[in-house]
Structure 1
Amino acid sequence: MSDPLSCPEFLQNPYPFYDELRAAAPVQQVKTGSGGRPSYLVTGYAEAKAAFGEPGLSKDTARFFAGRSSGRNLHPAVAHTMLATDPPEHTRLRRLVTKAFTTGAVTRLRPYIQHTVDRLLDALPKDGEADLVAGLAIPLPVTVICQMLGVPEADRAQVRTWSNDLFAAGQPQRIDTASHAVAGYMTGLIEDKRRAPDGSLLYDLIAAREDGEQLGEDELVSLAVLLLVAGHETTTNFIGNAVLALLQHPELLDRARTQPGRLSSMLHELLRYDSPVGIATFRYTTRPITVGETEIPAGVPVLISPGAANRDPAQYPAPDRPDAERDARVHLAFGHGIHRCLGAPLALAEAEIALRALLIRFPALRLAVAAEELRWRRTRLMRGLESLRVFTR
């Protein structure tokens, strides 16, 4: 079939497309990209969970594309991050950064997150119209991850622009240019940290040793870029999507306002309902595998869709309606298995603090535009709003 993920209607609302594809087969071959390259798309929950843990699926993009000319000029630090590795390389790299995102580490960050949220909300108009994507969802996570990495405040706006450009669907030159810019910046920042240690996460990585092994220069740059991008892109979408879902479902909004203690558990349902990651990053088969009832040959790309899986009626009754009473903790918005998002505790903390403060500060918050006027980012990987206009009173 032709590429079902290329039309503008899909980017605006992918869920009817996911439903149609899943109803036909929860795992099926589709054509993706301008060249119509055959790939397998996984849209069922059970199948997606199994695929995330399938050892016959590799994320080693360098091996897959070896000897193939893509015509691209993507910087190696962006093309070959920890996300694009398999064990044992992935295991070693992940072990070196995991401690920065443990529950305990995130708990110590909560006062800084709260301070940042309060400062951002102070800047919003008290009686007027505001864009919660530009005013809260974007600056909060990028400020937090830049603080963790030790990025100077004067550089953070530019760093955020480069990171956003890396997801510019259909604009390969823009993506490639941004990849070199952000990698070059991180190379310079690493040198700055070597000359003047500051206790940042980036310096910790420079000094880190695990079983007597230190990170190489290319690995340091790659991890720095990955932490920067992954540390805020998905959280930005998470916060924006969650606020929109609350504003569009009054019963959910009322529950969040009147029972703020329930908000942390509700976040999982909000993640399930509108996952910030629509389609997970690239995987391919290293040998023939079977996912669900579908046999997939060796050497072909496999696209796993958390966005589709989280709306699978076989897993979640009435999946197109957010339910505050639903236990959605097994959602796949953060992935599953060895590649599950290591920043999940930080994302949950940022969203919880931001939403709680937002609803207290602006009890009359409401949408300033009709739902059909909302515009979504033009990327298959991410599911996030370009803007979210609201009235604060």
Structure 2
Amino acid sequence: MTDKAVPAAELYTDEFAADPYPAFAKLRTDSPVCPVTSPRFDSFLITRFEDAKAALNDPRLSKDLYGPGDHYLRIFGPNSAGLNKNMLNSDPPEHSRLRQVTGRAFAPRRIEALRPRVAEIVSGLLDKVEPQGKADLMRDFAIPLPMLVVSELLGIPRTDNDNVLEWTQVIRESGSSGRPPAEEKARVQEAQAWLHGYLQDLVTAKRAEPGDDMVSMLISACDEEGVLSERELVSTAFLLLFAGHQTTADFIGNAMVALLTNPEQLALLRKTPELLPHAIEELLRFDGPLPVASPRVATEDLEYQGVRIPEGSIVGVVINSANHDSAQFEDGDRLDLTRERGPHLGFGHGVHYCLGVSLARMEAQIGIGALLRRLPGLALSVPVDKLRRLPAASPFRGLIELPVHFTA
């Protein structure tokens, strides 16, 4: 076992983007708490299940990147300040206050009431895809599905959906456009500025004409209850917009690749569709959309697996590595839809456990179920190693394109 630092350039390669799991397995064996160096910031990666679970709930690992040290500047850059002051980047009691406000919109009864509308959106998307005999499942289905759902939840007018989607995708696909780094950075900053301005304008519009939507609810919490600041209001709206569609879109894409490259598991799910809710959990464990949990900062000197993590260090909990740990999941690198359901970390753990878990599960179940029912003979149109993916250093694991063909 070694705690020798690994340069990020050696870890985040094209091969890693295609399949990070061999590298994760090596880290779990050789360096379960691995120092990683990069030009922007150094960090420690925690890769084993028990360590990851403990770290996700360790109060000494702070999510408040805006506290002492302004760690957000190192991680996100100065243009993030207006969009990232939200519950994702905060600790109790601030986190508890923000989560309580936002949690009202995710009450189980409210989410379950969305089921017919989610099914309607899925059906509408597939009505366009089905006659073609081929599709890009990311562009035509996986990305627009959760985007349409979260836009309606937030109260974004349908006429604005295309522009909002375009700018969020600029951020999502950062690093994959082939532009020079300076031009790419400027493009992302432009997207951040546009989204910040758009959400401010949306708040202004909803103040004048409130509705039964999340933004109007947040405005009430800000103006009438005084439990949200204006900055927190806009930032929380951005978090709900981005987190509400990004991870679900990437999960649906990853799940379909997993099924299409494991034909016996695909056949099993087609034969026993009642297995779908259980299958969603295994697919999330197998190849989740958020490989590393959002950054944490050590508030004091720590030690994990005998490795000292100095105060002020940035720590990444590698969820996708933990979810393949053979000490927790037998033959963890194998997809098994009949696997006994275990406590995977795909939705996180502790106080930052995913708030939108019920909605994400519903969208995935309805969406993937409909794909399997309505697109017979579904298959990849390119070899799996030729799929275009997000860059290895992206905080997300997802696809840029997912070309498929099927029987029209």
Q: Secondary structure at the match of 2:42?
A: strand
C-alpha deviations, 1:297-334, integer Å up to 9, x for none? 21111011111111111111111110011134411111
**Hey, what's the Cα distance between the residues in 2 that align with 1:198 and 1:69?**
36
Partner of 1:108: 113
What is the aligned counterpart of 2:268 among 250, 255, 262? Answer: 255
Q: Secondary structure at the match of 1:232?
A: helix
Partner of 2:148: 143
Partner of 2:402: 388
Q: Secondary structure at the match of 1:119?
A: helix
Partner of 2:213: 200
Partner of 2:50: 46
Quote how far apart the aligned CAs of 1:205 are.
1.3
**Structure 2, unaligned runs of 5 or more:** 1-5, 176-180
What is the aligned counterpart of 2:363 among 341, 350, 353? Answer: 350
Quote how far apart the aligned CAs of 1:69 are.
6.6
**Hey, what's the Cα distance between the residues in 2 that align with 1:295 and 1:139?**
44
Quote how far apart the aligned CAs of 1:165 are.
2.2
Say whether 1:11 aligns with 2:11: no
- Pairing of 1:40-119 with structure 2 (within 5 A): 40-66=44-70, 72-119=77-124
The aligned amino acid for 2:160 is D
The aligned amino acid for 2:110 is A
Quote how far apart the aligned CAs of 1:64 are.
4.7
Quote how far apart the aligned CAs of 1:210 are.
11
Q: Secondary structure at the match of 1:281?
A: coil
Say whether 1:130 aligns with 2:135: yes
The aligned amino acid for 1:53 is N
The aligned amino acid for 1:319 is G
* TM-align CA RMSD: 2.0
Over 3 Å counting, the alpha-carbon distance change for 1:78 and 1:160 in structure 2 is: same
More displaced 10-residue stretch of structure 1: 207-216 or 80-89 = 207-216
The answer to whether the Cα contact below 8 Å between 2:66 and 2:72 also exists between their aligned partners in 1 is no
Partner of 1:24: 30
The aligned amino acid for 2:147 is V
More displaced 10-residue stretch of structure 1: 249-258 or 90-99 = 249-258
What is the aligned counterpart of 2:303 among 290, 294, 303? Answer: 290
Quote how far apart the aligned CAs of 1:65 are.
3.7
Partner of 1:315: 328
The answer to whether the Cα contact below 8 Å between 1:5 and 1:380 also exists between their aligned partners in 2 is no
The answer to whether the Cα contact below 8 Å between 2:85 and 2:236 also exists between their aligned partners in 1 is no
**Hey, what's the Cα distance between the residues in 1 that align with 2:251 and 2:245?**
10
Q: Secondary structure at the match of 1:295?
A: strand
More displaced 10-residue stretch of structure 1: 248-257 or 144-153 = 248-257
**Hey, what's the Cα distance between the residues in 2 that align with 1:68 and 1:225?**
16
**Hey, what's the Cα distance between the residues in 2 that align with 1:52 and 1:210?**
33
Quote how far apart the aligned CAs of 1:103 are.
2.4
Q: Secondary structure at the match of 2:11?
A: coil
Q: Secondary structure at the match of 1:208?
A: helix
Q: Secondary structure at the match of 1:21?
A: helix
Say whether 1:178 aligns with 2:191: yes
- Kindly tell me the number of residue pairs found equivalent between the two proteins: 391
The answer to whether the Cα contact below 8 Å between 1:132 and 1:388 also exists between their aligned partners in 2 is yes
More displaced 10-residue stretch of structure 1: 356-365 or 5-14 = 5-14
Quote how far apart the aligned CAs of 1:125 are.
3.9
Percent identity for Structure 1 against Structure 2: 38
What is the aligned counterpart of 2:253 among 236, 240, 260? Answer: 240
The answer to whether the Cα contact below 8 Å between 2:85 and 2:232 also exists between their aligned partners in 1 is no
Quote how far apart the aligned CAs of 1:209 are.
7.1
Say whether 1:377 aligns with 2:381: no
Over 3 Å counting, the alpha-carbon distance change for 1:252 and 1:67 in structure 2 is: closer
**Structure 1, unaligned runs of 5 or more:** none
More displaced 10-residue stretch of structure 1: 337-346 or 16-25 = 16-25
C-alpha deviations, 1:214-256, integer Å up to 9, x for none? 3221111011001000000000011011111111111211121
Over 3 Å counting, the alpha-carbon distance change for 1:27 and 1:75 in structure 2 is: closer
Quote how far apart the aligned CAs of 1:187 are.
0.4
Say whether 1:304 aligns with 2:317: yes
Q: Secondary structure at the match of 2:195?
A: helix
